[in-house]
Amino acid sequence: MKTIPVTITSDFICPWCFIGERRLTRAAAKLSEDQREQIRLEITWRPFELNPNISPDGIDRRAYRIAKFGSWEYSQRLDAHVIEAGKPDGAIFNYDRISRTPNTRRAHRLVSWVTRNGSDADSLVVRLFEGYFIDGRDLSSPAELAGIAGTAGLPRDAVVAFLASDEGTDQVTAAEAEAYRNGIHSVPDFRIGSIGFSGAQPIEIMSEALRRAGTNSLGQ
């Protein structure tokens, strides 16, 4: 079986990153039966903090959105657009449940730690997206992160101990600096094999990228 490397640079509070993850999943399901049997996706998640300079404990979302967009009403119109955009892909946005805009560095550290230890980072990432956008959980909170990690099958005590340290901070900031050097200034950013594109592209574009990457892989 051939492996297609997929690198996704994203942030867990980026709605288009959530939509992009769902579209990639749908695109992978559309591969031909032969391709699905002969290739597998090896996904690497790379960090990108949308709000690296806010308090480590996050900030009130309403205050943050008013400061960023000028009014709560305009912010709600933007949210409504995202809600509609996510429906075809099964990306649910319960913005009424979200009270905090979190600092996501702890969450990125956690994913990096899980990746380095060979555990299932994909499952954790999906639960982080769902925890924030569907359940309104505060991704700044170590307790919330430990709870989310537990639903992904990770040992809660080990996660709590890890988050109480500064371990992994240097790896996250180094990876973010590398993303900037590589020209990534917004997310999501996808690289499927040798094919790269930015944004939550339509599923047809993702499907074609997977098909081409799969064909190239099988031809090697």
Domains defined for the chain, CATH in brackets:
2-199 (3.40.30.10)
Global pTM value: 0.94
Local confidence band at 30 (pLDDT 50, 70, 90 cut-offs): confident
How would DSSP label each residue in 133-189? Answer: HTT---TT-HHHHHHHHHHTT--HHHHHHHHTS-TTHHHHHHHHHHHHHTT--SS-E
Write down the pLDDT at residue 22.
Answer: 97
Q: In this predicted model, what pLDDT tens digit does every residue of 189-212 receive, in sequence order?
A: 999 999 999 999 999 999 999 989
pLDDT mean over 97-108: 98
Pull the structure tokens for residue 201. 């592209």
Local confidence band at 2 (pLDDT 50, 70, 90 cut-offs): confident
Q: In this predicted model, what pLDDT tens digit does every residue of 128-160 receive, in sequence order?
A: 999 999 999 999 999 999 999 999 999 999 999
User: Per mean pLDDT, which range of 22-36, 39-53, 57-71, 170-184 is the poorest?
Assistant: 22-36
Q: How many CB atoms within 10 Å of residue 216?
A: 14
